[in-house]
Amino acid sequence: ARDIALPDMAIGLYDWALIVDHHKQVVSLISYHDADARYRWLTGQRAPTQTPFRLTSAWQSNMTRCEYGEKFRQVQAWLHSGDCYQVNLSQRFQASYEGDEWQAFERLNRANRAPFSAFLRLHDGAILSLSPERFIQLENGHIQTRPIKGTLPRLNDPQADHPQADRQQAQKLANSMKDRAENLMIVDLMRNDIGRVAVPGSVKVPELFIVEPFPAVHHLVSTITARLPDSLHATDLLRAAFPGGSITGAPKVRAMEIIDELEPQRRNAWCGSIGYLSFCGKMDTSITIRTVTATQGQLYCSAGGGIVADSNEDAEYQETFDKVNRILHPLEN
């Protein structure tokens, strides 16, 4: 069912931008027209008074534990019949709220410190994304994608020897044959997608099965690179690879059909992509995981995981909470 009244796509054409370099601590104003006039306009702006953000109900999932189990077993049946190799199954959480969505985003940003965070103010709502995952970057003809597949929670118990325990947790993920297999399936899928438009022979995998720590979880990440021919545009690359394989499964089209059949609601912005495409041809995009959609007084936040033949139902169900806890809990306080 489609129950979120927001568009499938939102595009803005901007003739100016403020670019913040957090390493150099420098802010640059880029303007296609009169930069001085734009600067004067910016310095004259004042933040409007906003209603404080707060939840007005508890988070509720769109499926019970029993319903998740039934869907998990349906996926397993398709996997064992050879119909597919991996399916990303998710549950969605919903709560009502009041107040300013930007305040909610600031709260989430402090808790998550995600490299691809983004806030989009739309006509009828807002998108609050705390994504850790790059979808596709294009710069001077060089393509990079960094799919995430494989997750374990961080071990940050203050009563325990958490640095040592957390290092062991990261090593456990690095050595997990199940997570490696899951990651490799998506690497192969993305190599194939990018290979449709890349210079023949240019697709490489310089990094495979790298564990990267985030505030709530460890992720298993791989890197695929390639070159885009001069005759093609960034939009050709997007068309060949969208949506990202890490949040669908493999083979992609069949996995998407299964997701459409099993998940109660359409995903909307979640597991789509947010990014920019410059006039010079540079592009960078994220996968919109760890992302909240706000509209008509309701918040929606989903979390899922890639299910393969040897996945454990309890572990997969818990993984959805491990991923989403850093989103749900900060907004409750």
Q: pLDDT tier at 191 (50, 70, 90 boundaries)?
A: very high
- Please give the full DSSP string across 45-59, using - where no structure is assigned: --PPP-PPPEESS--
Cis peptide before 251 (omega within 30 of 0): yes
pLDDT tens, residue by residue, 101-115: 999 999 999 998 899
Task: Tell me the average pLDDT across 132-156.
Answer: 94
Percentage above 90 pLDDT, the chain: 87
- Quote the CA–CA distance of 130 and 102 in Å, as a whole number: 13
Is residue 150 scored above 60 in pLDDT? yes
Catalytic residue from among 71, 106, 139, 149: 149
DSSP state of 116: E
Please give the sequence-ordered ranges of beta strands (E in DSSP) within the chain, or none if there are none: 16-21, 26-31, 54-55, 60-61, 86-98, 116-122, 125-131, 134-139, 142-145, 148-153, 204-213, 217-227, 249-250, 273-277, 283-287, 291-295, 298-307
Q: pLDDT tier at 1 (50, 70, 90 boundaries)?
A: confident
CATH superfamily of 51-332: Anthranilate synthase (3.60.120.10)
**The pTM is what?**
0.90
- Quote the CA–CA distance of 111 and 119 in Å, as a whole number: 15
- Quote the CA–CA distance of 27 and 20 in Å, as a whole number: 4
Q: Where are the domains of the chain?
A: 15-46, 51-332
Catalytic residue from among 101, 133, 263, 316: 133
**Sign of the C-alpha dihedral, residues 60, 61, 64, 65?**
negative
Catalytic residue flag (residue 133): yes
What DSSP element (H or E) covers 104?
Answer: helix 101-112
- Is 254 in a helix, a strand, or coil? helix
Q: Which amino acid is located at 288 in the chain?
A: T
Catalytic residue flag (residue 71): no
DSSP state of 149: E
Question: What is the DSSP pairing of strand 26-31 with strand 16-21?
Answer: antiparallel
Residues with Cβ within 8 Å of residue 25, at least 6 apart in sequence: none
Is residue 236 scored above 70 in pLDDT? yes
Is residue 216 scored above 90 in pLDDT? no
The whole-number pLDDT of residue 326 equals 87
The whole-number pLDDT of residue 163 equals 82
Q: pLDDT tier at 215 (50, 70, 90 boundaries)?
A: confident
pLDDT tens, residue by residue, 238-292: 999 999 999 999 999 999 999 999 999 999 999 999 999 998 899 999 999 999 9
